[in-house]
Amino acid sequence: MKYRKFSGSDFDFLKDIVGKENVIEKKDLEPDFAHDELQTVSAFPDVHVYVTDKEQVQKIMKYANEQLIPVTVRGSGTGLVGACVPIEGGILLDTSKMNRFLELDKVNMTLTVEPGVLLMEIYEYVEKEGLFYAPDPGEKSATIGGNISTNAGGMRAVKYGVTRDWVRGLEVVLPNGELVHFGGKVVKNSSGYSLKDLIIGSEGTLGIVVSAILKLIPIPKKAVSLLIPFKDRIAAIDAVPKVISMETLPTAVEFLEKNSLRFSEEYLGKKIPNADYQAYLLVSFDGNTQEEIDHLVDLVSQLCVDELGAIDVYLVDTDERKQSVWSARGAFLEAIKASTSQIDECDVVLPRAHISEYLTFTQNLSQEIGIRIPYFGHAGDGNLHIYFCKDQLTDEEWLRKTEIGFKKMYLKAFELGGLVSGEHGIGYAKKPYLKMQVGETQIQLMKSIKQAFDPNNILNPGKII
């Protein structure tokens, strides 16, 4: 597909639609808008446009489709695989100002929002009404549009699932500018192919989400976290399936290791209490009565100490302890980033039985190819975040080692029944590995689907497939 060169009349058209204050030409653009959080790929658009309502999105898409101008959607730009980077130039369509709460429907327990609303704003908005939006991706300043586009997961997936499970309906602008509705405020849906589920996780390549109907539930009244030290990582991770299958599902099961905690301590500049053991599980439960929570704490403590070799069980109960432990966990990515000049990541998801084996493989690989590979992850759902760090490597060594290293990492994951991405998506950076995972037939099916939605290939070209 040959795209048309962007010209002065295109600027005029866009300014007419969204106002000149919402159109930033390439020459005036902040470099931050040429990449995402991880900066593995970088490209400037011809123009950066802020939209403020769905009619603007429709008009711009209709125009871009007729004029053959590529359009890439961007929310907060917190992605890690380059999905929002306009690698073919054209229009960077920014939904961050399209951030209204459209309706809180308490009877149907749904929240309807525009795509630019931030995840942290959603929590705040619904929780004061006694309601709960459960998905809990690490990056709270991501937009809900971005969360939907990558099917973001997060820590509470063990009990509550991922973004997909919390999206009841979507209003989507197709590449030709047409507005369509998928799903609705309904709990069940067996009405034809699930186009809604096709949009979720499609990373802005099939259509532009202009509003979303989210499922809510009554907020659990009580919650508790436990920090449980083990003699080593293997003991900790081996305990996970037993903790999960014990009784009530935990909301989250994270694993922490001394090394990663040290990183966080350095980065945050403060000590974390009880952080002197080799490995930990950080286990959370929620419920509605104190008795329920106490019962679960008793059960899991007994199980871990008596049967699974845990050294102790620390209740993360005071506000200070909670703040300290969860901020340490939350700071892992930032701490790793701050420790080196450049990183690239592997977001594999594995059957949870294989996490330990996979991490041993990773540590051996780190030795073998001479690259530092810190990691952390969601032990409860098998999703690992593994980071290659450039440190003192030359550009050439970095390229070579990441290429060899990632290939080995992904092949090993596939061998164990894992997938390329648990929650960060494919975007630009992980395309070759998706193909390795699913093979040519599935790539062709995905290409046909892309072709059906976007025959001119103007929407986020060059991503996923």
CA distances from 350 to 226, 420, 422 (A): 24, 9, 8
Query: Distance between CA 422 and CA 217 in Å, rounded?
Result: 24
CB closer to a second copy out of 89 and 287: 287
* Burial degree of 372 (CB within 10 A; 0-12, 13-18, 19+): middle
**From the CB of 210, what's the least distance to a second copy, in Å?**
15
* Residue closer to a second copy, measured from CB, 267 or 410: 410
Cα 189 from chain centroid (whole Å): 25
Bridge partners of residue 211, in order along the sequence: 171
d(CA 462, CA 465): 7
Strand partners, 415: none
Distances (CA, A) of 174 to 88, 98, 104, 269: 19, 17, 26, 48
Which amino acid type is present at position 142?
Answer: A
In the bound state with a second copy, the residue whose beta carbon lies nearer, of 93 and 109, is 109
Number of C-beta neighbours around residue 46 at 10 A: 21
Give the Cα separation of 401 and 408 in Å (integer): 11
